[in-house]
A and B are shown apart, each in its own frame.
Chain A
Amino acid sequence: GAGVSQSPSNKVTEKGKDVELRCDPISGHTALYWYRQSLGQGLEFLIYFQGNSAPDKSGLPSDRFSAERTGGSVSTLTIQRTQQEDSAVYLCASSRPPGQGFQETQYFGPGTRLLVL
């Protein structure tokens, strides 16, 4: 079946512009995660959605970052007034809902490579 898809695969933008990154999770996966992989910084958590629950936004680095998930499926990560330090690969992952006392494997998309000039 289809995996997690992300678009665009690459995005070059100018400092100060807004960008939107899209994630289509695996069908039936109610849990959706955004991560960022910066050069020299490794991977870091940004935000987590689970069903209709309030998202866990604890990893968002500033109020310029926001994300939404419409209809419990597609998610959009928006970065306003981009800065050069926002340059990174933005990864989306999805999983079946984690249950009480057990976790589910996360399936990663190919990522969006963002370059802010």
Chain B
Amino acid sequence: KNEVEQSPQNLTAQEGEFITINCSYSVGISALHWLQQHPGGGIVSLFMLSSGKKKHGRLIATINIQEKHSSLHITASHPRDSAVYICAVIPYQGAQKLVFGQGTRLTINP
């Protein structure tokens, strides 16, 4: 079993829909990242959080440390949001390496 599990693996929605991507992890962590990767493009860090909730534009990320769970929400989704969204954690062991989920491929149709 992977230390970081995302769901769903693939998600197709219509423009304007509210999107939720979930991430569960099995280890103690010091921080969690949500990353975005466009086709053929590089990786951009959207959020880094260790507690509570963060918001940036139409994107909202939440984390529940006790339940080892995080969600990424997109409000009023747009075709340009189509990308792979990756959850990654930094485990407590003291190393700084990211441990990645498998990613969620999001497609927003006009």
- CB contact under 8 A between A109 and B31, given known A48-B96, A56-B97: no
Expressed in whole angstroms, the Cα–Cα distance for A107 and B50 within the complex equals 18
- What total of chain B residues lie within 8 Å of the partner, measured CB to CB? 23
Interface size counted on chain A using CB atoms at 8 A: 26
- How far, in Å, is A69 (CB) from chain B's closest CB? 14
Q: Are B102 and A106 in contact (CB under 8 A)?
A: no
Interface status of B86 (Cβ within 8 A of chain A): yes
Pairwise interchain contact A33-B97, C-beta atoms closer than 8 A:
yes
Partner of B99, one of A45, A102, A103, A104: A45
A42 at the interface (CB under 8 A from B): yes
Q: How far is it, in angstroms, between the C-alpha of A58 and the C-alpha of B103 when the chains are bound?
A: 23
Q: How far is the CA of A83 from the CA of B90 in the complex (A)?
A: 30
Interface SS, A side: strand
* B46, chain A: closest CB distance, angstroms: 10
Number of A-B contacts (CB under 8 A): 57
Identify whether the interface residues of B are mostly helix, strand, loop, or mixed: strand
Q: Name which of B37-45, B55-63, B65-73 contacts chain A.
A: B37-45
Q: Is the CB of A59 within 8 A of B101?
A: no
A108-B44 contact in complex given A43-B100, A44-B100, C-beta closer than 8 Å: yes
Closest to A109 in B: B42
Q: B79-110: contact bitstring with A at CB < 8 Å (1 yes, 0 no)? A: 00000001010100001111111110000000
* Cβ contacts under 8 Å, B86 to chain A: 43
Give B contacts to A, CB under 8 Å.
30-31, 33, 35, 41-45, 48, 50, 86, 88, 90, 95-103
Supplied contacts A105-B45, A108-B44, 18 more A-B pairs, CB within 8 Å = A33-B96, A42-B100, A43-B88, A43-B98, A44-B100, A48-B95, A48-B97, A56-B96, A58-B97, A91-B42, A91-B43, A103-B30, A103-B50, A105-B33, A106-B33, A107-B45, A108-B43, A110-B41
